[in-house]
Structure 1
């Protein structure tokens, strides 16, 4: 078992030569079934943390001393303004006009943890085309919300994402068709489309949803 104070270090009598294009892969397995709260990705040992440390020679100049990757996203790229077409630093900052427009459209037309509204479906259909709300970027941005310490800001984003997800089933049916749903679509028991990176809506309390809506109206 891994011990933080005394990690295992493997030394090779015959050094391993790494050439351009070679890949070093580390696989970590997490078991958090005994915990009573969600375990998220992070650098703390109490979170889903996985690092591989290597010593190498000769010395080369690297921009970063260390780097990690989450699915298709390099965490080292997080310093860039744009990743996979998504300006991730802008999402959540409602002082930016485009972000403010997205938040306003969702909060005024969709109901958090409620039924899909016709107006909401039209809005969400367009927003889901945005690169920040697709694939790994969508999932990673949602996971980062869980780790936000500011309760007001966190509640506002939780309310936004649960409202955004209120039409997941309808969008899945549009993509797959009702007759082919069992064959081509994977739908969770609660009616959420797996591929959309569905947010953990069960973390939200109805009172928090009301507060998030009121906070949004204040802005």
Structure 2
């Protein structure tokens, strides 16, 4: 297939499209890669959900989180910040007993406190505007998976600002993953059929 760099980590599927190996084997990951990952998300609820799920993913594989996403959405009332901000101590134990989600008490508590921080942030343009304000002037152009950074100066700065605003489980790796997921940076490998698909960055 033309456009794929020599010795690339891309795999050409039976549909003739090139994807990284992680998005080529599992149908769920393949669909996520083809339709969601790296596409712009600019609404508050969408950014908040992805921030929460990236926090839950820390130490786990994304495939686990993706498979549990429907259960997460049901357990956390669709990730509507206003509803989660109203959770109290009595809401934590049912979440800890919910086998459909990742039952990590600190991450569950962080989701509640992050919802409250999100509601409070509306006084200053809101979560989505804050996150997108850290869009860099350029994006990585990786040929290999090892070329993709785990953090960036912008993700470090975003992590620090979110923490200042009362968020937790928002380290620089988590914020960089968020930036990848919602299109702020494009880390699709050169030659991937998804490279440049966000419309924000050129192929």
TM-score, normalized by length of structure 1? 0.30
Larger RCO (CA within 8 A; separation ≥ 6): 2
More helix by share: 2
TM-score, normalized by length of structure 2? 0.31
Structure with the greater alpha carbon radius of gyration: 1
